[in-house]
Every structure is written in C-alpha cells, then in structure tokens.
Amino acid sequence: MGNIALITGATSGIGEGCARRFAQGGYDVIITGRNRNKLELLAGELKAHGVRVFNLVFDVRNRAECEQAIAGLPTDWADVDVLINNAGLALGLEPEYEGAYEDWETMIDTNVKGLLYMTRLVVPGMVRRNKGHIINIGSVAGDAAYAGGNVYCATKAAVKAITDGLRIDLAHTSVRVTNIKPGLVETNFSNTRFHGDKERAATVYKGIKPLTGEDIADVAFYVTSAPAHVQIAEVLVLATHQGSGSVIHRNT
C-alpha cells in the first residue's frame, strides 16, 4: 500500500485537481464530498492510475457526519499521510450591512468549522505516528479584505491563523503544515458565490487568464514532495496579471 491522501471537497475545482494529481503521483486517495454520483465518477477515473480510491459522502459542516466518516474508515485506510482541507466556498458579494445571514453561516461552517473538525479527527493519528502533512487551502482574500468580501475574507484570515497555530502546536513533531493561498482560480467558485448566475460569474475571469484547479494541485503535490526537513509554511499563488486580491490587470 502507498501513502494515503484525504481530500475534502473533491467533487470539483481545486479538490478534484488535487485528487487527480495525488493519484497520478502514486497516492491512494480518500475523496470526500456531498455528491455521491460525482465521487463515484471521479473514483473510476482515478483507479486507472493503479491506485486505491475510497469515497466518503458527508458534509464537513456536520460534526457528527465528520466523526462517523473518519471513525468508519477501514483499518487499511485509517493512517492518513496527507490531509488536504479544501472544502470551502464564498457566497454573495453584498456590503456587510446587507449580507444574508444564511450565506454567512454557510461560509463560516464550511470554511472554518469544517476545517477544524477534519483537523481534530485526522491529525492526532499523524502525531502518534510522527508523520504527516496538513495542507489548508486558504486564499489571497485572507491577507486583506476587498469590497464585498467581508465575511469570506474573514474566514480565509481565520484559515491562516488556524494553520499558523497548528504549525506551532506541531513544532515538536515531524508533521508539516502548509497554507496554500490561491488568487484568481477559474472553478465553480464564482458560480457558487453568485448563486448560479453564470453570466455574472463569467465576468470575474474576463480579460485575464486565471489559475486552474490543476495549477493549485501541482503546488500541493510539490510541497508534500519536499525533503522531510523542509516545511513550506505558506504559498501565495496568483495569476500572472494579478497583483493582489484586489488588483487585476484585464485585457479589454
């Protein structure tokens, strides 16, 4: 058996890219998400690389479901070597004083609490084995707020603080911790943010070649491939014509 990577939110975007990249790299993969059919389709594709694939269908926002999923892993899947906390989303772009309560709760429950649940459930095993790597998918949005970003930016700032805190807590071990902070990535992200308004979502990427989920997956695989004494703590990844979270040069 090879090393095992567990990837949350694997049914699209960065998570799907990570599942493919780690399978290509010889990892057995545990893919998680809420859509059983998408997971099964992806699993069929990944097995073509000659690796084992295990599907977990649950919602990271639900602590009981997280606990049940991890507790139910067969013995030969229980020792996770790489945890990629990818599941996350943005909802809405309204001013904070006009934001929807439901959107706030969904972002906080997914981006912050879901990440914490999975960390709490998986990392103790890494500590016992003195081996492992946690990759949290943060965002350039966690470095500075932008117009309409308010709560989403706050959740990604929380991801940075939580990741830094975990790295400090694990400094006495050989377990490594990385925060990958993507900029503009063309996935289902904007379509989700605008509640299915594809036309509005398309404007986000107009006039610039954005990053892809595969680009971020390459970075994730790279940081896990570094020598054991090297811990790549944080990686900011931007499209070439993106200067920051709010500065984008578009060809019009």
- Break the chain into its structural domains and give their ranges: 4-237
Residue 246 has a pLDDT of 86
As a whole number of angstroms, the distance between CA 20 and CA 217 comes to 8
Catalytic position from the list 97, 117, 146, 152: 152
Other beta carbons within 10 angstroms of residue 136's beta carbon come to 26
Can you tell me the distance from the alpha carbon of 81 to that of 2, in angstroms, rounded to the nearest whole number? 10
Looking at residue 205, its pLDDT comes to 87
At 202 the pLDDT is: 80
CA distance 113 to 59: 11
Summarised one tens digit per residue, pLDDT across range 201-217 is: 788 889 999 999 999 99
In the structure encoding, which two tokens stand for residue 224, read together?
């896990």
Say whether domain 4-237 belongs to CATH 3.40.50.300. no
Active site residue 152: yes
CA atoms within 13 A on the CB side of 197: 10
Residue 19's CB is within 10 A of a number of other CB atoms, namely 31
- Residue 55, helix vs strand vs coil: strand
Q: How many CA atoms lie within 13 A of 109 on its CB side?
A: 13
For 34-62, what is each residue's pLDDT tens digit? 999 999 999 999 999 999 999 999 999 99
**pTM score, whole prediction:** 0.95
Dihedral of alpha carbons 8, 12, 18, 21, sign? positive
Q: What share of the chain is helix, strand, coil (3-state, %, to 5)?
A: 45, 15, 40
Work out the angle between the directed axes of helices 13-24 and 213-225 (0-180°, nearest 10): 50
Position 199 scores a pLDDT of: 82
pLDDT at 1: 62
**pLDDT tens, N- to C-terminus, the chain (252 residues):** 689 999 999 999 999 999 999 999 999 999 999 999 999 999 999 999 999 999 999 999 999 999 999 999 999 999 999 999 999 999 999 999 999 999 999 999 999 999 999 999 999 999 999 999 999 999 999 999 999 999 999 999 999 999 999 999 999 999 999 999 999 998 877 777 877 877 887 888 899 999 999 999 999 999 999 999 999 999 999 999 999 988 999 997
CA 78 distance to own-chain centroid = 20
Would you state the pLDDT for residue 53? Answer: 98
